[in-house]
Structure 1
Amino acid sequence: MNFYKFVTSVLRCFSNVFYKYKVIGEENIPDEGNIIIAANHKSNLDPIFLASAIRNREVAAIAKKELFKIKPLGFILNKLNVIPINREKPDVSTIKNILRSIKDGYVLGIFPEGTRIKEPGFGQAKAGLSVFAIKGKAQVVPISIISNYKLFNRVTIYIDKPISFEEYYKQKLTTEENERLAQNVLEVIKENYYIHSK
């Protein structure tokens, strides 16, 4: 068992022991092909719940670079395929690393809002999700994380069907157009969130 599988099995155990953890739509993560998973983000527990939900592929997540300065967290993040990013101004090498991870068969994990949204509701999607989906020729799988994050309460991970961006592969889109496409994915995440919160 490699380090990634070992850690995710521990995280899955944590999720099942301390929460009423349930995954719906696991079959919607394709076994192969370029894939990005996009989820809402309200808690530091979200990456744990996401990693626990994806069993058939290894996830390469994006995290703010400041986390890598914390020892030994930085070492562990590197071992778990996590890509550091300057959220204010991503550099070219970071973008290349992200696109390479997609090409290498990892499932890229993104929070479209770009940061945690602690208050009720959702933020606005950033352009990055659409940019990476188009440049990486990847389908996007919307995932809704539904929880109040209190111990022993319900956590539902709802995985919807992949969304194709293929019609935009040869187009040169503006930042506003990329934001709109990313927001469309976030709207699917929001709809599923509210439906399955009932």
Structure 2
Amino acid sequence: MEGQIVDQAKKNVETIKKFVTPFFNLAVTTNVYGYHNIVPSGKLILTCNHRSDMDPFVIGNAFPRFISWIAAEYTTRIPLFRDLVEKTGTIPMAIDGNISIASIKKVQQVFKNGDVLGIFPEGHDYMVKNDFSAPLADFHHGFAAFSLRNKVDILPSVLIPEEETISDYPIPPLVRAFMGMPKEVCEIKKRVVYKKVNLVFGEVIKHQDYIHLPLEEGMKAVSMETKRRMGDLQKADFLKKF
């Protein structure tokens, strides 16, 4: 039964991409670097910085494999997005650290299927700060735990804007509060809309290099290395290497 649900989600994503991609590409120009670093098959964790609610769509549009995204549970309270979550294999997860058994099982199923799990290690913290010229926000370590416990490598990536507009958040604060969004999300004033963006994939981080460490120590080490790699990818002179 679980396999049928996943297969249907993959079909749904392909159908959406087929119809939406031409229009999306007219609105957003995406330049992809480091494409050769993308692992063509097998279980994988994809990490990326998170500065816009457009991020999963930009990445999903360019990435050649099906991605099961981790999304904050409260996003399922947004009209239309709830249906999108259900139909695209997205996994809602609590942001307070109390991850449900159901969510963990869905993550494990992604790896069992040899698919890609997409995670934004910053969570919504970068967008909450609302300073779009700031460096990466602190990382949550959950993705590192998934990597070590399930023996999965990590593909770090970053989105680097070339042209973008910063506009008012489209949903008024009172409406967000009524929908049950966290206070910090209700207070977000601005959002980023990409016009032209660079998507850069770095070299895979091997879980084997950290598996010998105690779990807590390994999680911190994996998280620190992933953040370091992503920070390096963000540097302007890095693109000259491609």
Unaligned runs of 5+ in 1: none
Map of 2:124 onto structure 1: 115
Work out the CA distance in 2 between the residues paired with 1:85 and 1:178.
Answer: 19
1:152, CA displacement in angstroms? 7.1
Work out the CA distance in 2 between the residues paired with 1:149 and 1:10.
Answer: 24
Cα gap change, 1:138 to 1:189, in 2 (>3 Å): same
Count of residue pairs brought into register by the alignment: 196
1:193, CA displacement in angstroms? 1.0
The match for 1:149 among 148, 160, 164 is: 164
Cα gap change, 1:14 to 1:144, in 2 (>3 Å): farther
Could you tell me whether the CA contact under 8 Å between 1:11 and 1:51 is conserved in 2? no
Which aligned pairs between 1:15-34 and structure 2 lie closer than 5 A? 15-34=24-43
The match for 1:161 among 187, 190, 203 is: 203
1:139 aligns with 2:147: no
The match for 2:138 among 90, 112, 124 is: 124
Work out the CA distance in 2 between the residues paired with 1:86 and 1:47.
Answer: 18
The match for 2:71 among 46, 59, 63 is: 63
1:48, CA displacement in angstroms? 0.8
Map of 1:36 onto structure 2: 45
Could you tell me whether the CA contact under 8 Å between 1:62 and 1:85 is conserved in 2? yes
Could you tell me whether the CA contact under 8 Å between 1:42 and 1:116 is conserved in 2? no
1:159, CA displacement in angstroms? 0.8
Cα gap change, 1:183 to 1:13, in 2 (>3 Å): farther
Cα gap change, 1:50 to 1:152, in 2 (>3 Å): closer
> In structure 2, what residue type is equivalent to 1:158?
V
1:12, CA displacement in angstroms? 3.4
Which aligned pairs between 1:161-180 and structure 2 lie closer than 5 A? 161-169=203-211, 171-174=213-216, 177-180=218-221
Could you tell me whether the CA contact under 8 Å between 2:43 and 2:110 is conserved in 1? no
1:11, CA displacement in angstroms? 4.7
1:156, CA displacement in angstroms? 0.4
The match for 1:187 among 218, 224, 228 is: 228
More helix by share: 2
Could you tell me whether the CA contact under 8 Å between 1:103 and 1:136 is conserved in 2? no
Could you tell me whether the CA contact under 8 Å between 1:142 and 1:160 is conserved in 2? yes
Structure number with greater Rg is 2
1:185, CA displacement in angstroms? 0.5
1:170, CA displacement in angstroms? 5.4
User: TM-score, structure 1 length as denominator?
Assistant: 0.88
> In structure 2, what residue type is equivalent to 1:27?
H
Work out the CA distance in 2 between the residues paired with 1:194 and 1:143.
Answer: 12
* Greater CA drift, 27-36 or 148-157: 148-157
Unaligned runs of 5+ in 2: 1-9, 166-192
User: TM-score, structure 2 length as denominator?
Assistant: 0.73
Map of 1:106 onto structure 2: 115
Work out the CA distance in 2 between the residues paired with 1:155 and 1:87.
Answer: 28
Cα gap change, 1:50 to 1:192, in 2 (>3 Å): same
